[in-house]
Amino acid sequence: MSSLLKKSLTDLTVEDLMIPAEKVAHVQVGNPVEHALLVLVESGYSSVPVLDLDYKFKGTIAKTPILKSVMGMERFEMEKLAETKVEAVMQVEQPTLTMDTNFLTCLKVVINHAFACVVDEEGYFLGILTRRAILKEVNKSMYAQK
Ligand code: AMP
């Protein structure tokens, strides 16, 4: 953290700011959406990464699409939660970052996404970069200029 103080915003990269994979809640392809909903409710996050069995990034899954997938005409058909797989509901069109992505690129990505996944050149999941981490650095930098 102390090394971050010495870096200017434009020198920061994803590596300086990301949450590493071992601290990120995730679900796997093949899981029923019931499991994903449990992870989402328990963690308090509205969306988490979806990985395959090799730990490669595949997409993200959020509460609202899960609930929509079991919404009937008059009630939530909760029995469908166990039958529906994560891949039927996950969002696949998601931006990814690499460890060396620069701060300005990250800033642009988090305008439209609460977090973005960090992958290596083969697509293996390394962690996430959150909007909070970016805003914290912008805030720090603006106060330092006062
Ligand atoms: P934040 O900017 O900290 O509010 O995080 C933005 C979003 O990133 C959250 O709503 C979650 O979807 C995701 N997120 C943040 N931290 C984690 C984590 N440890 N595990 C999984 N997802 C996370």
Q: How far apart are CA 37 and CA 3, in angstroms?
A: 38
DSSP lists the bridge partners of residue 117 as 96, 128
pLDDT at 7: 76
Say if CB 127 and CB 48 are below 8 A apart. no
Low-confidence ranges of the chain (pLDDT < 70): 1-6, 146
Q: Looking at residue 144, what is its pLDDT? A: 81
Between the CA of 63 and the centroid of ligand 1 the distance, in Å, is: 13
CA torsion 140-26-127-67 (nearest 10°) is -50
Residue showing tokens 């103080």: 5
Residue 121 CA to ligand 1 centre (angstroms):
23
pLDDT at 114: 97
Q: Is the CB–ligand 1 distance for residue 23 below 6 Å?
A: yes
Cβ of 25 closer than 6 Å to ligand 1, yes or no, is yes
Q: Whose CA is closest to atom 18 on ligand 1?
A: 24
Which residue among 61, 130, 136 has the greatest number of ligand 1 atoms within 8 angstroms of its CB, and so is best to mutate? 130
Question: Which structure tokens are listed for 64?
Answer: 């609202």
Atom of ligand 1 nearest to the CA of 114: 6
Residue 142 has a pLDDT of 84
Identify the pLDDT of residue 4.
55
Q: What angle do CA 23, 27, 30 make, to 5 degrees?
A: 155
SS3 25: coil
